Amino acid sequence: MTSLSTGNEQTIILLGASNISLGWRPLIQSVLARRSRPIHLLTAHGMGRSYIAPSRFGWRLAPGILETQLWHHLRDGHTQPPSAALITDLGNDLVYGRSVDDILQAAEEVICRIRQSNPVCPIVVTRPPLASVESLSMVRYRLFRTAIFPFCKLSLHEAIAGTQELDRRIRALNHVEIASTQQKWFGLDPIHIRRSFRREAFESFLAPWPDESDTAPIHGVAPPGRPQMSERWVFGWQREAPQPSAATSGCLVSAW
């Protein structure tokens, strides 16, 4: 595996769930396009990922983002303090029955941990796809819930009301940049950004970050495929992956 081995790389934090997983390559391309130095990506994401508690998707169980070793890695100085951070997919925890208060407490804890490493780190928090969720019909909601989150017991009314309250509370967060979503990015699936709009969406999310591309873009190459998280359970068996799990010229990835 290629290593940066420069001591001069920037640390970038990417946190979320399925939208990061599905849009991994265009997201990394968007990140690389804005950087002038090699980057070390610290990420915790995955299909169905929760910030608060372990979450299951299919046959895979992953720890909650707040429970991962990413924070020990950051706190113990194994990497440079973060230069920028993206926090997205906070609405996932609604389908697990978490209250908006619990979700906001988790978001604030994530922000606090990042700030402890770098008090002036630019942090972007994305709003949930409110317009897309509000447009759901009962039939479409039931089809989506059965296909993606069959364990979810929320009614359509509860899902809409929870998303509205979560959106309101996210917009009230202090000392972070708030990124909006656009209804056109979503199709029949109300929460996953369509493939054709992923690059546009991520460039919009990252717009508040400092853009260094005019000085000396690194022309880094996005690692092929998605990174393997350091710890997960598949069919009940613990699987571990050494970190960093992916690297190319200009880009190193550690995943939890």
C-alpha closest to that of 41 among 67, 5, 70: 70
pLDDT at 142: 93
Q: Is 164 exposed, middle or buried (0-12, 13-18, 19+ CB in 10 A)?
A: middle
Q: Indicate the class that CATH gives domain 10-255.
A: alpha beta
The pLDDT of residue 2: 43
Closest CA to 256 of 79, 64, 96, 114: 64
| In contact, 128 and 183? CB cutoff 8 Å | no
pLDDT tens string, the chain, 256 residues long: the values are 444 444 578 999 999 999 999 999 999 999 998 887 889 999 999 999 999 999 988 889 999 999 999 999 998 878 899 999 999 999 999 999 999 999 999 999 999 999 999 999 999 999 999 999 999 999 999 998 998 888 899 999 999 999 999 999 999 999 999 999 999 999 989 999 999 999 999 999 999 998 776 655 555 566 767 888 999 999 888 999 899 988 877 889 999 9
